[in-house]
Amino acid sequence: MSQTIQADKVVLYHFTLRDAAGNVFETTVGSEPDVYLHGHDNLVDGLEAALAGKAPGARFDAVLGPDESFGHPDPDADETVSRDELPEELAVNDHVIATEDDGTEVDLWVKSVAGNEAVLTRNHPLAGQTVTFSLEVLDVRDAHEHELTDGLAWGWSGEESPWGEEGDDWDGSEDEEDVEWEEEEGEDDDGGSTPKA
């Protein structure tokens, strides 16, 4: 008997995210499906609510407003930085993770690049928009104890540490550069990361 999606379940699913104009912003279709742990703040609120109660085989669209998805734009969320501080290959809507002095990770997106400067913003590129998720639930399983402790799915097998070989011993600190590259490039993304504001 198949399980339904509820708290502490790990979900394997495909999604396609479209902006307000219907353009594909991100999709897992044609590549590896996404995996997440339900009920642990791993998805935008509206997406998690839409998936709750669904069983493997479910296919449906979830239309979400800004309050349910990526929020509203904050006019004070932009920051101009030197181009030299960022990776060489950079494009608008690329995702960058900045690590603050206290170890907190901050999601930033490239808003513009001009000359030796780039404007980064804490606003998600789809902030302020009504977006559509096209979803297909592939499978649902019970979470392992270590996944519940971490609040994250360790891949579909439950054995793929989110932090590579560091696994449970990783304390959340970063010893490298304050800004690191994250392979999320907006449209036609490979879907390696769960949609989260």
Would you kindly state where each structural domain of the chain is located, as residue ranges?
Answer: 9-72+127-173
pLDDT at 171 over 50: no
How crowded is the C-beta side of 104, counted as CA atoms within 13 Å? 6
- Mean pLDDT across the stretch 10-37? 97
Is residue 176's pLDDT more than 80? no
Q: Which two tokens stand for residue 120?
A: 């980064």
- 83 Cβ partners below 8 Å, 6+ apart? 90, 113, 115, 116, 117, 118
Of 188, 169, 165, 142, nearest to 12 by C-alpha is 142
19-to-5, 26, 187 alpha-carbon distances in Å: 26, 9, 10
Mean pLDDT (whole number) for 89-96: 87
CATH number, domain 9-72+127-173: 3.10.50.40
What pLDDT, in 10s, does the model give residues 51-81?
999 999 999 999 999 999 999 999 999 999 9
Q: Specify the pTM.
A: 0.77
Q: Phi, psi (5° rounding) for residue 92?
A: -60, 140
More confident residue, 98 or 121: 121
Report the pLDDT value the prediction gives residue 162, as an integer from 0 to 100.
Answer: 72
1 has a pLDDT exceeding 50 = yes
pLDDT at 193: 45
**Strand ranges (DSSP E) for 65-104?**
78-82, 95-99
Q: Which of 124, 129, 139, 110 is nearest to 193 (CA)?
A: 124
Low-confidence winner among 2-16, 75-89, 141-155, 160-174 (lowest mean pLDDT):
160-174
DSSP calls for 168-191: GG--S---S-SEEE----STTB--
Mean pLDDT of 15-38: 97
Q: Write the CA distances from 81 to 78, 117, 176, integer angstroms.
A: 10, 6, 18
Residue 187: pLDDT band (50, 70, 90) is: very low
- Looking at residue 16, its pLDDT comes to 98
Q: pLDDT tens digits, residue range 117-134? A: 999 999 999 999 999 999
At 12 the pLDDT is: 97
pLDDT at residue 47 greater than cutoff 80: yes
Task: Name the maximum alpha-carbon separation found in the chain.
Answer: 58
